[in-house]
Every structure is written in C-alpha cells, then in structure tokens.
Structure 1
Amino acid sequence: MSLPDPPAPGGLREQARAWLEEALSGEFAHVRGLGGPGREHEGHEERLAWERHLGRAGWTCLGWPRRYGGRAASLEEQVAFHEEYARARAPARVGHIGEGLVGPTILEFGTDEQKERFLPPIQRGDELWCQGYSEPEAGSDLANVRTRARLENGTWVITGQKVWTSLAHVAHWCFVLCRTEESSQRHRGLSYLLVPMDQPGVVVRPIVQLTGTSEFNEVFFDGARTAAGNVLGAPGDGWRVAMATLGHERGASTLGQQIGFRRELAEVIATARRTGAADDPVLRDRLVRAWLELEIMRLNALRMVRPDPGPEVSIAKLYWSEWHRRLGELAQAVQGKSGLAADGGLNDLQRLYLFSRADTIYAGSSEIQRNIIAERTLGLPR
C-alpha cells in the first residue's frame, strides 16, 4: 500500500499533471528524464529551453508573490506540483538554485530594488545561479570562510576560492559568503554578496567526479567585482542570511525528490527479481527496510514543510542522505558480480551507487547535521 497524495487546494495537482503530460508529449518529449545527480551534463541547452517554457507558463517559483512572477501558492500546492513534476519524469531543473535557494533569501532579506532586479530573471529562467559557500578550509565548517571582499570606490572587490560549486560552469550569478571585516573571526564579519560570473577575475575549473562527469567546480575570485548594492542584508550580517538560505534548501521540493527515490527503489527491486537476489532472505529484508524507511521519510517531510523552517530540518537531510547512500549500496548488492563491471559506461544503478557516496557530505555533512540537531533542536551542550 501507499499513502494517498495530499490534496492541493484549487485543483493545482490536477492542473499540473495535465499540463506536464501535454508539454512532455509534444515539443519537449525528448527532455523527459534528462539530468539529475551525476547526469547534469545531459541536454543542458534543451533543459534550459524547458526551464524558460516552464517560466512562461507560470510553473516556476510557485510560492513567490505574483508581482515577481509567482502564483502565491500555498505549501500544499507547492508540494503537489513538485510531486507531479517528479512523477512525470520531467527533466532535472537547471534553475533550482535560483528558485529554491537565493530567490527565497532575496524575498526575505532583499531591498525592493534587489527584488525587482533579481527575481523576475530567475522566474523566467533567464539567469542561473550557483552557491559560493564551501572552501578548501571551510567545507562543513562554514564559519571558517577565508574568501575576502573589500569595498573600493563603490564596488566590492573579491579575492578567494570556493569549491564543490554545483553548476558554476553554466551559472550567470553566484551568491558568495565572504569575510568583509578584516579582524573578524568565525560567524562575525561575513557578508552575503551577489556576484556576476561572466567577468575578468572569475575562473571556473570543473572537478571530475567518480561518475566521470563534472557538475561540481572550483571557483577562483581574483579581484572579481560586484556593485556595492549587491550585498544581501547588512554588511557583516552574512551568517544569518546564509543560514536562512540553508533552511530554504530543505523546502517543498524534497517531496518531489522522494518520487525520484521511489523510482530508483523500484529499479533496485526489479533488478533483484531479475538476478535472483530477491530470493536471498538478507537482501529481501534490506529491500523491505528501504521501502518502509522511504514511507517514513515522506511522512516526516510532510510534517516539517512550513514557511519558516527551523534547525529541525537537519533531521530530514540526515535521514534522506543516509537512506540514499544505503540504497546505492543495495543497488550494487542486487546486481551481483555484473555490478562490478562498467563496460561501455555506467548503468543507472552503478551511477546511483557512486554518486550517493556524496549525499552524506554535500549540503552539510552528516556529522554537522547531528551537531545541529543536538545543539539547536535538543538543546544539548556543544
């Protein structure tokens, strides 16, 4: 059995389902299933065209105010759309960092001028974003940021290095957490700058992953510039703004992510039946546990989705990332010896195994999530 889909007020779920089926059966039929973790190289230009088609039809940034191109949709409606989007096997979004991370942060902290400048191009799919947080010495320990910026004749001048920057090679803008007060340490003296990528002083170098693809990058800032007004929130208050962005990262789209997980689990089960691995009682127990835990994941996500996510959203990230990594290991186990060979390239289950090794590291490692849960949710001492 499966739990029923939560209703979406005003029939938005049915509208989304019908629109997606029509759109993905016509001009954009060829983009179905393209992209995703470890496959971000697939059909970028086609997926960008799809992003703009979504924007023109009003299916991006659903929760945003109408004046910036959104629908002012409720959380229930946003959940419904993301679930239907994943169920239709629509392509992985190329604008999700703008829509899901920096866009909501601009809505929360931005000036009217910043909202008018940056939000409509995100909604239309005209400007793509990347996230400039992690550094070689400041990954999970984000407060150890060393990239610096100084204000010089009305312009921020930025020097430093970011790493593991998803989609930086195709992004037009980057939101950069950097140190703007010389003597500051840790959480103090940081600022959240909005920086154009296409300029002298910005160098992007792809990082080859275990999957053989390169959706992550190193980004070097060597005297890169952005206007003085492109600081989000007050200078020096960047830590608070950055934490708000991480809260938005765990939003309604996670329910759509779980539809993708459900498809992956179905493929693992089908492979187990085909190879005979399902007859092994130990592997069969692991398959049942994976199904049960996925149902728990959905219930927990529905419980936690709200407009003002708190530190308890770390529970969701810890849970899904650990579960997905275990699913990758199970995907290899059910293939048997054939899963050890990659003649002619990786199959889907091999790619799942390799990429899911990173799930417990990116977007906040499992160790950091446990610390946040302990200190900020349970109130335990550091």
Structure 2
Amino acid sequence: MTSTATRSEVVDEFAGWLAEFLPHDYYERYRQYRWDIPLRRDYQRAAFEAGWLQPTWPREHGGRSLDLRDAMEIRIEAALRSAPKLPNIQGPGVAAPGIRQFGTPAQIERLLVPLLRGDEWWALGMSEPEAGSDFAGLRTRAERDGDVFRVNGHKIWTTQAHESRWCTLYARTDPDAPKHRGISCLILDLTAPGVNIEPIRMSSISDETFCEVFLDDVEVPADNLLGPENGGWNVAMSSLHHERQMIWIMNWVEIKRGLDSVRHAKSDGDNEDLYTELGSLLADAEALRATGYRTLGNELAGRPSPEGDIMKLLGSVTLQRVWELAAAAQGPRSASDPDLLFERQDALAATIYGGTSEVQRNIIAERLLGLPKG
C-alpha cells in the first residue's frame, strides 16, 4: 500500500467510501462474507454508481476519468482491504473493455451498462477441449449465411456460462487464413436455440463453476460481430490485457496474505528450509509488485511492456508456492484446516486462468527471448 505521505486524495476518498459501504462486522466475519453473492452484487452496483468500478472510464461507464496511476492505486487499495470480489469478474474485467473498444454504438448502448452494473452476466468462449489455452488452435466454426453466422463447436472451462446471459464467443470464420487471422468474436446469446451448457463438477468449494458449452447450428446475428470479421485475435488480446493487470494485483495481495499466515504459523520446531523458502517468496512478492509498477511506467511512457507476460507466470507460480509453504509451516495440523485446504486448492487454478503457465513460458521464450518454436 502507498504510504500516508504519498497517498492521493482520490485513494483516500475510495478508502472512506469502501469503509462506509462494508458491513460493520465485515472483517470479523470475512470467511462468511466472501461467499455472500447479494453483498457482492450490491458492491458492484454501488461501485459502478460511485465511479470506482472502472476508474479510468467516464461516469456513465462506472468511472471518474482518472489517470492510470490513480486507477492502479485504487485497485491495490481495494485488494488490500479485501473488498468484495465481483460476482462475475470476467464481465467487467474482460468483456466490458472489449465491448467498449470494439463495439458498435448500438452494442455499447444495449450491453455495456447492464454488464457493468452486474444486471447481466457474461462468459468468455475461448478455450476448447483440443486447444486448451492455445487460443489460435480453436476449431469452433462460424459460417456466414446472409444476416447470420451459423456456429458449430465446443467450448470448455467457460466460467459461469450456466449463470450468464451473454458470451464473447471466438470462432473460426476463415479456415484458410493463418491461425491468428481467421478468428472472429461474436456476441452470443446463451439462451439461443442450439446452445447446450453443462456445468463441470468441481472438486473444491467455488462459486465460479466451469462449464462446457456445446454449439449445434446456433444462429448468431451478423450484427453481433464484435470488431471486424476475422479480427478476433486483436479483440481477444486487447481484452486480456485488462485481465492481466487485474490478475497481478489479485495474486500479489493473495501472496501477501499467504505469507502472513506462514509468519504467524506455530510450526513444530525450527525448520531452516522453511525460512529459506519464506525469504525467497518474500523477494518474489516484492519483485512482482515492482514489476507491476514498471509495467505501469512503460504504459504511461508509451513504451512496450514485455514485463506483462512475465508477471502472470511469476504471480501464479509464487501464489501456489506460498500456500504450500503455509501448509508445511502448520505441519500435520494443516490436514484438518478447511480454510487452508481451500486456499491450496484455489491456488491451483492460478496457473490455468488467464493463460496456463505452459503457454506463458512459450510466449516468454518465443516473443521475449527470441528462441525458436519447438
């Protein structure tokens, strides 16, 4: 958190607003409130109306037209204060930036405010069974037929699709084009005929259920094309840029929370290896934070920022290591701690969502280090 001497007035204003919004016993009963969907819905709506939801955007879109630095400080402040998690986080975090940047005036007018207020939930139709996080390898097809696209295919790991009204669906519209250039983004109504959604049984407690989405000759109006036809790659990359900014802050705060639990754990005897690993993770946490600020500096200066690809990998791997160390610090008692079990299971997803660690390593090797493709 920024020190009192350097905190901007707008961050102080946000902190006061948040304190006023939260229930008086929020921190004492945080384990219960973190699952409280009505509270989280109310928080999203209130944050939209107060201009804290998308701080850099104008008031009509849930913001205050703030600069990138203040916006990041507000997001960090929210994370440090354990502000309620948005109930459909990929809507404001990924779908909304794509709609605002690439949508037609009619699409923005109809879709953006209900999304930002949380009145309509969104899913992301990206991953596929035989492609996983290899986005360019998707096989779902969308063929133009007059005023509609006919879509056939299969999506997987589509979070909250069974509770969502809309989906940004990525499909191949030009099978003869290079893999990255033949993809389009369609706004899919998940209630349309031919859409079949099957939730995937989860092994841990979660309100972000994965789903499979089967598409059988689904008709999508051509007016629901988001961005140019065959331009879906750019829509996806731009949208995911916003997600990556959100992920590093979330991971950093969760890492700090995990490290605090390690330091306060009553381990059985001294364990030199435990302290060595703790020191390493403390350094990694600070490296993640410093890299986040360096990325912001590059963005403000209009420079390329390759650190963004590194942050996702560093943050997700460090988060898993932290909670495994927390279990080691507790020793045998960790087996009977349901909260710790949840944290360990939840951290496993960190190396999958937003791009798997394997894909991130390939990106770093090929794009940053210039190594040949395997």
Q: TM-score, normalised by structure 2?
A: 0.88
Q: Where does residue 323 of structure 2 map in the other structure? A: 328
Which residue of 57, 73, 97 maps to 2:66?
73
Alpha-carbon deviation of 1:32?
4.7
1:316 paired residue among 286, 311, 317: 311
Q: Deviations over 1:55-102 (max 9, x none)?
A: 222221222233434211211121121122122222211242122212
Q: Which has the higher helix share?
A: 2
3-state DSSP of counterpart to 2:371: coil
Distance of 1:15 and 1:212 partners within structure 2: 34
Q: Is the 8 A contact 1:24 1:31 kept in 2?
A: no
SS in 2 for 1:21: helix
Instruction: Give the C-alpha shift of residue 257 in structure 1.
Output: 4.1
Q: Spell out the pairing of 1:130-279 with structure 2 (5 A cutoff).
A: 130-184=123-177, 186-213=179-206, 215-251=209-245, 254-271=248-265, 274-276=266-268, 279=270
Q: Aligned letter for 1:103?
A: A
Trace 1:281-320 onto structure 2 (pairs within 5 A).
Answer: 281-305=272-296, 306=299, 310-320=305-315
Among 108, 115, 118, the residue aligned to 2:108: 115
* Structure 2 counterpart SS, 1:120: helix
Summarize the Cα distance change of 1:376–1:31 in structure 2 as closer, same or farther, 3 Å threshold: farther
Contiguous gaps of at least 5 residues in structure 2 = none
Deviation at residue 22 of structure 1 after TM alignment:
0.9
Q: Could you tell me whether the CA contact under 8 Å between 2:251 and 2:315 is conserved in 1?
A: no
In structure 2, relative to structure 1, the CA distance for the partners of 1:179 and 1:60 (3 Å cut) is: same
> Helix, strand or coil for the counterpart of 1:195?
strand
Q: 1:348, 1:76 → 2: CA distance?
A: 34
Contact 2:165–2:190 under 8 Å retained in 1: yes
Find the counterpart in structure 2 of residue 20 from structure 1.
18
Residue 381 of structure 1, CA deviation: 3.0
How far is the alpha carbon of 1:30 from its aligned partner?
A: 9.6
The whole-number CA distance in structure 2 between the counterparts of 1:310 and 1:174 is: 29
Instruction: Report deviation, 1:319.
Output: 0.5
In the aligned structure 1, how far is the partner of 2:189 from the partner of 2:224? 10
Runs (4+) off by over 6 Å: 27-31
Do the aligned residues in 2 keep the contact of 1:95 with 1:122 (CA within 8 Å)? Answer: no
Matched, 1:355 2:370: no
Percent of aligned pairs with the same amino acid: 36
Cα distance in 2, alignment partners of residues 29 and 286 from structure 1:
29
More contact order relative to length (CA 8 Å, sep ≥ 6): 1
Q: Is the 8 A contact 2:93 2:246 kept in 1?
A: no
Cα deviation, 1:9-67, whole Å, max 9, x if unaligned, reads 5x11101110111110359889856687xxxxx33343223322222222212222334
What count of residue pairs does the alignment treat as equivalent?
368
Distance 1:355 1:314, change over 3 A: same
Distance 2:225 2:198 in 1: 25
Per the alignment, in what secondary structure is the counterpart of residue 353 of structure 1?
helix
Q: CA deviation at 1:150?
A: 2.1
Q: Which amino acid aligns with 1:302?
A: Y
Residue 60 of structure 1: which of 46, 50, 53 is its match? Answer: 53
Find the residue that maps to 2:349 and give its secondary structure: coil
Q: How far is the alpha carbon of 1:5 from its aligned partner? A: 7.6
Deviations 1:288-318 (A, max 9, x none): 2222211111111111133777554110001
CA distance, structure 2, for counterparts of residue 5 and residue 188 of structure 1: 49
